[in-house]
Chains A and B, each alone.
Chain A
Amino acid sequence: MKYGYYPGCSMEKNARSYHTSTLAVAKPLGIELIEIDDWNCCGATEYIAINKVPAYALVSRNLALAADQGDSKNLVAPCSACYLNLKKADHCLQENAELKEKVDISLDAGGLSYDPGSINVQHLLETLSVDIGLDAIKAQVKKPLHNLKVAPYYGCLVPRPGTMESFDDPEHPISMDKILAVLGATVVDFPLKAQCCGGHMTQISEDTALELIRRLLKNAADNEADLIATLCPMCQLNLDAYQDAVNSHFGTNFKIPIVYFTQLMGLAFNIPADELGFGKEIVSTKSALSKITDEAPKPKRSRERGKKNASLPMPIMAEEG
């Protein structure tokens, strides 16, 4: 299956591991990722704060290039902010005639044009969980990640892409949980899995951002996670590179490695760790990954043995499938 591929600026250096591991797992899954030639920065959360039409024009150049170049109508963005910007721009151009007109004129000044709706923007998680499907992923698992307790962390923008509908629940997403489960890992469904990592607040008001990061790390640790799996370079950076700052600011002692979920997929697919970008994390993954066993862990025994159960029945949640 062919997909247009928009890596985004972070994938070049800061999140190189995400890029490497994405390409590594794409191959066995039969996904061909064709990088858009000469793509530019999506503007992150910065341009839209300054100037509306240029911000949309900046993003639309990428959409125009993707439409011109690709064999595929689909454009995959692994970075959550890039995903949001691309998808939102396409959506707003469809909804807002005045904006579309101005963007059209701007693109034309660069010899480009874009017909809104002609590109289908997807986040990488969406491509894997919806298009490829759990069965195809499971088929590639050669070395299950037994006994590894992984906390899937979604961040904000994938579950809540603005006014648009997300492919997963905005408050309690589960698509990454399901992928990690077929990889054989023990999924730690921690309550703050879709809370904000602080984004660029680390540069604006470090105290605010560090508190947000602390909460996430604490919650994952309270739920006994060995590591946290992310799907966004910003989240990975904040949770990983600022973990030391959190520890010194709050006097905590977190040592939770932060990896990309594609890296874990690669490990389960038995792709060598150095081909998956391991080793670039500030907080080392060595000790966490050493917990992986060859055998699946035995199921936990129910704590209530012989004690009369006085508890009241819980409401039944809909099948999570």
Chain B
Amino acid sequence: MTDMKKSPTEQERVGVYVCHCGSNIAGTIDVAEVAKWAEKNPNVVVSREYEFMCSSTGQELIENDIKEKGLTRIVVASCSPHMHEKTFREATERGGLNPFLFEMANIREHGSWATNDKNAATIKAKALVNGAVERVVHHAPLEKIPVSINPNTLIVGGGIAGITAALELAEAGRKVFLVEREGTIGGHMAQIDKTFPTLDCSACILTPKMVDVGQNDNITMLSYSEVESVEGYIGNFNITVRKKARCVIEDLCTSCGICEEKCPQKVVDNDYGAGISTRKAIYRSFPQAVPGYPVLDKENCTYFQTGKCKVCEQVCPTHAIDFEQEDELINFDVGNIILATGYDLFDARKIPQYGYGRLPNVFSSMEFERMVNASGPTSGHIVLRDGETEPKSVAIVHCVGSRDQNYNEYCSKVCCMYSLKFAHLVHEHLPEAEVFNYYIDMRTPGKGYEEFYHRLLNEGTHFIRGRVAEISDANHHADEEGKLVVQAENTLLGIQQRNAVDMVILSAGIQSRHDAEDVSKLFKMGCDYDGFFNERHPKLAPVSTMTDGVFIAGACQGPKDIPDTVAQAGAAASQVAKLISQGTVMMEPVRASIREDECSGCRICNTLCPYGAIEFDAEKEVSRVITALCQGCGTCVAACPSSVIDGAHFTNTQVYAELKGILWDVQEEVIAKQEAI
């Protein structure tokens, strides 16, 4: 050790603290030995070992030593920085030093937890501590970067999640821009008839909230609109929204509905109507639409397709129809973004053996939901595809497209509950009908959910534990003729059964939106393998993302029911409100910066940056890091061919010093060899 070259920063006074972490570290590493050994480094003024450095007593050791012994640098050898880097930086700061004059050596996750070999672990601990000491003397004080937070918020998606979050923020006095792709807010919840387990009428509990959104002055509702571009960073996003042309002048429209009534063109409503009802070419999705202005569907409008008609324009009492209306681009600034874009239903046409799309009386869950709704195409009567015949027997198939390696591996969480709900609705509408629920497992974990299952058992529903193998109209015997045969094994009996029913409902699973990946790229965050947005931490941070200032809520994060969606929306709103009330956010200074005088303008770093955080100044012909967007990954630092990019807190000097420190014993051998020659 004495043969090591004296460091240029020899006046630095380092305090070393080796933690026992109970027996987590001390059980494998000889911590006393490590602490004693560390003292030999010329820069080390005090070297201690302690049971739990993260405790208040442990932290006080650091604070007191700084004050009493005039320490200028601190090293703690303990657990992972993910755990306590923040703790010890704050202790350092309380002691009177800049928090970045601190370095941590991870001798737990990288040492005592990696091996049972005590000798090897202790040797490694010494090396890591030495590396930390050698590095920390080169640390420079750094200041956190303040970023101001624009108090306005963008919420993408006007379903129950978006609506909840918008109201939370608006009622707190904050301005919200709510962007919704469809002509009206409401989302999937507006399509649903009754909600489990309370059997509340979905529209009855949703529409008051929709009206609140429409009337709240703090919410700017941009319906029939999509986000086109997102620039900037937390606290300072610049958003461009494309407000698509609905061909209706909103200021003049009174939502009287005459245009819709008189429009001669009927089309199948594949969106709100789930393909089972029809609407006109100029339409509102449902009567309680907010906003109430209709949308003109150019693809199906007679005028736009053939140049004839224009009946709506003729009948409109306020002359609110404008065929020349163009898309509008709206630009505004916000401080935070909440994505609440919802889900798509699994397309059961992908499972040919279930016959959806071929066999008329096989229905998807959303088709059935619309049918059983009093405002649906049959006024709530449950009938077969012919629109008239009431079924005498209904089979409800669980797990369609879920829990299946061939389609989606995950469980969609809500289908068991809504399958039970369907069973109840069939019993209610058709008291004489037999209902069969085919399931693999019955998943009813929420509040009141098991009790709901109990209710259905009491209503005389037949529950068959067996995943449906196939649904067919091919009868084997005369008594199956004209019916749909559901073939499955009743696994509790171990017998294959064929059940001839009139109607089958497929409980299709929840999927991420078909364009979720594109949306995530637009907002510079990520999706998981199934297309659901990535949360920052699945347990502890389910509504924030790895991108500061962008939050997620509801089914876009993963399949969930309405109570969980509302809870997440509130959580996201709360996190946004926190940032707004802080007014300024202090960001980690571990970022890159470019020495512009030396930059040659080659722009290699521009495209390599995964966060789009480097801009090119065309006038000066140099690249520049947008500090707030930079996440300190170091890619540009390594890539710059002229080495003119500095990574704060990870300078070349610091990194090399750490390496040399870790490799201390190899160096000694080399030196000893040289001396022997």
Which of A's residues lie within 8 Å of B, judged by CB? 169-172, 190-192, 215, 218-219, 222, 309-318
Residue of A nearest to B360 (CB): A314
Does A191 contact B473, Cβ atoms closer than 8 Å? yes
Does B364 contact A315, Cβ atoms closer than 8 Å? yes
CB of B633 within 8 A of chain A? no
Residues in B neighbouring A171, C-beta threshold 8 A? 352-353
**Complex A-B, nearest 5 residue pairs according to Cβ-Cβ distance, in ascending order:** A310-B387, A171-B352, A191-B474, A172-B352, A317-B357
Residues in A neighbouring B385, C-beta threshold 8 A? 311-312, 314
Residues in A neighbouring B386, C-beta threshold 8 A? 310-312
Selected A-B contacts with CB under 8 Å, 21 pairs: A169-B352, A170-B352, A171-B352, A171-B353, A172-B358, A191-B472, A191-B473, A192-B474, A215-B474, A219-B474, A222-B474, A222-B475, A310-B386, A311-B385, A312-B383, A313-B275, A313-B276, A314-B360, A315-B357, A315-B367, A317-B358
- Contact of B275 (CB < 8 Å), options: A192, A222, A309, A315: A315
Does A312 contact B474, Cβ atoms closer than 8 Å? no
Residue of B nearest to A220 (CB): B474
Q: Which residues, 466 to 517 on B, are CB-close (under 8 Å) to A?
A: 472-476
Residues in B neighbouring A215, C-beta threshold 8 A? 474, 476
Q: Give A2 to B371 CA distance when docked, in angstroms.
A: 57
CB of B356 within 8 A of chain A? yes
Q: Give A192 to B353 CA distance when docked, in angstroms.
A: 11
CB of B87 within 8 A of chain A? no
Residues in A neighbouring B86, C-beta threshold 8 A? none
Does A317 contact B360, Cβ atoms closer than 8 Å? no
> Chain B interface secondary structure, helix, strand, loop or mixed?
loop
| Shortest distance between the CB of A170 and any CB in chain B (Å) | 8
Residues in A neighbouring B358, C-beta threshold 8 A? 172, 317
> Chain A interface secondary structure, helix, strand, loop or mixed?
loop
Residues in B neighbouring A169, C-beta threshold 8 A? 352
Residues in B neighbouring A316, C-beta threshold 8 A? 275, 357
Q: Which residues, 339 to 356 on B, are CB-close (under 8 Å) to A?
A: 349, 352-353, 356
| Shortest distance between the CB of A26 and any CB in chain B (Å) | 31
Residues in A neighbouring B383, C-beta threshold 8 A? 312
CB of B150 within 8 A of chain A? no
Q: Mark B358-387, 1 if CB is under 8 A from A, else 0.
A: 101000100100010000011000010111
Q: Give A315 to B476 CA distance when docked, in angstroms.
A: 27
Residues in B neighbouring A170, C-beta threshold 8 A? 352
Does B388 contact A310, Cβ atoms closer than 8 Å? yes
Q: Give A312 to B362 CA distance when docked, in angstroms.
A: 12
Q: Give A218 to B472 CA distance when docked, in angstroms.
A: 14
Query: What would 18 more interface pairs be, CB under 8 Å, given A222-B474, A312-B378?
Result: A169-B352, A172-B358, A190-B474, A191-B472, A192-B472, A218-B476, A309-B387, A310-B387, A311-B386, A312-B277, A312-B385, A312-B386, A312-B387, A313-B268, A315-B275, A315-B364, A317-B357, A317-B358
Residue of A nearest to B351 (CB): A171
Residues in B neighbouring A318, C-beta threshold 8 A? 349
CB of B278 within 8 A of chain A? yes
Residue of B nearest to A190 (CB): B474
Q: Give A313 to B476 CA distance when docked, in angstroms.
A: 29
| Shortest distance between the CB of A300 and any CB in chain B (Å) | 18
| Shortest distance between the CB of A110 and any CB in chain B (Å) | 40
Residues in B neighbouring A222, C-beta threshold 8 A? 474-475
Q: Give A172 to B357 CA distance when docked, in angstroms.
A: 13
Q: Give A318 to B474 CA distance when docked, in angstroms.
A: 23
Q: Give A190 to B358 CA distance when docked, in angstroms.
A: 12
| Shortest distance between the CB of B597 and any CB in chain A (Å) | 59
Q: Give A309 to B385 CA distance when docked, in angstroms.
A: 11
A169, A311, A312: residue with the most chain B Cβ atoms closer than 10 Å:
A312
Residues in B neighbouring A315, C-beta threshold 8 A? 275, 349, 356-357, 364, 367
Residues in A neighbouring B276, C-beta threshold 8 A? 312-313
Q: Give A172 to B367 CA distance when docked, in angstroms.
A: 23
Residue of A nearest to B371 (CB): A312
Does B353 contact A314, Cβ atoms closer than 8 Å? no
Residues in A neighbouring B387, C-beta threshold 8 A? 309-312
Q: Give A191 to B473 CA distance when docked, in angstroms.
A: 7
| Shortest distance between the CB of B346 and any CB in chain A (Å) | 13
| Shortest distance between the CB of A238 and any CB in chain B (Å) | 17
| Shortest distance between the CB of A213 and any CB in chain B (Å) | 12
Q: Give A312 to B387 CA distance when docked, in angstroms.
A: 6
| Shortest distance between the CB of B468 and any CB in chain A (Å) | 13
Q: Give A275 to B132 CA distance when docked, in angstroms.
A: 89
| Shortest distance between the CB of B226 and any CB in chain A (Å) | 25
Residues in A neighbouring B388, C-beta threshold 8 A? 310
A170, A191, A215, A219: residue with the most chain B Cβ atoms closer than 10 Å:
A191
Q: Give A147 to B377 CA distance when docked, in angstroms.
A: 40
Q: Give A315 to B362 CA distance when docked, in angstroms.
A: 10
Does A313 contact B472, Cβ atoms closer than 8 Å? no
Residue of A nearest to B353 (CB): A171
Q: Give A190 to B367 CA distance when docked, in angstroms.
A: 26
| Shortest distance between the CB of A138 and any CB in chain B (Å) | 26
Q: Give A218 to B371 CA distance when docked, in angstroms.
A: 35
Residues in B neighbouring A172, C-beta threshold 8 A? 352, 358
Q: Which residues, 376 to 406 on B, are CB-close (under 8 Å) to A?
A: 377-378, 383, 385-388
Residue of A nearest to B370 (CB): A312
| Shortest distance between the CB of B48 and any CB in chain A (Å) | 56
Residues in A neighbouring B360, C-beta threshold 8 A? 314
Residues in A neighbouring B352, C-beta threshold 8 A? 169-172
B353, B356, B473, B474: residue with the most chain A Cβ atoms closer than 10 Å:
B474
| Shortest distance between the CB of B276 and any CB in chain A (Å) | 5
